[in-house]
Structure 1
C-alpha cells in the first residue's frame, strides 16, 4: 500500500503528488480506494489512512469522491 511504501515519516503532503498523478492518469471513475488493511497498520491506523486518503482527494467533487470510495468498485463488481 501507499503508506507502507512511503516510509515511517509519511505525510499527506508527501503523498499528494502520487494521488494527483493517479487522478490525472485514470480519473475518479477508474480509481478504487483500498485500505491495504491489515498491512497498512505497519505505517498507519486504518482511520489515519482513511482520513489521509479523504484529504488527498478533497479537491474532487462529492460525486467523484463517492466514485473513488465505493461507486467505482460497486459498478466494476456489479454490486449495490
Structure 2
C-alpha cells in the first residue's frame, strides 16, 4: 500500500486528503485499530501538521465543523 499512499500525498497533498474507512466492513480483515495503525504507519513521514490535516483537519475544514 505504501506506493499508493505516497502517490496520493504527492498528487494531492495532505490538505486535500482525508482518512476514512469502510467500517464495519474493514473488520472482516482486521480490527479498526489495526487499519488506523496501518494508515498512520503509511503516512509516518508527514510532519505533525500534515498528519493532523489527513486525520481530521482537512475533513473539519471541508465540512465546516472545525
The aligned counterpart of 1:41 is: 27
TM-superposed CA distance for 1:56, in Å, is 0.4
What stretches of structure 1 of length at least 5 have no aligned partner?
1-14
Select the structure with the greater relative contact order (CA < 8 A; seq sep ≥ 6).
2
TM-superposed CA distance for 1:22, in Å, is 0.6
What stretches of structure 2 of length at least 5 have no aligned partner?
none
Which of structure 1's runs of 4+ aligned residues deviate more than 4 A? none
User: What CA RMSD, in Å, does the superposition of the two structures yield over aligned residues?
Assistant: 0.7
TM-superposed CA distance for 1:64, in Å, is 0.1
The aligned counterpart of 1:71 is: 57
TM-score, with structure 1 as normaliser: 0.80
TM-superposed CA distance for 1:53, in Å, is 0.4
TM-score, with structure 2 as normaliser: 0.96
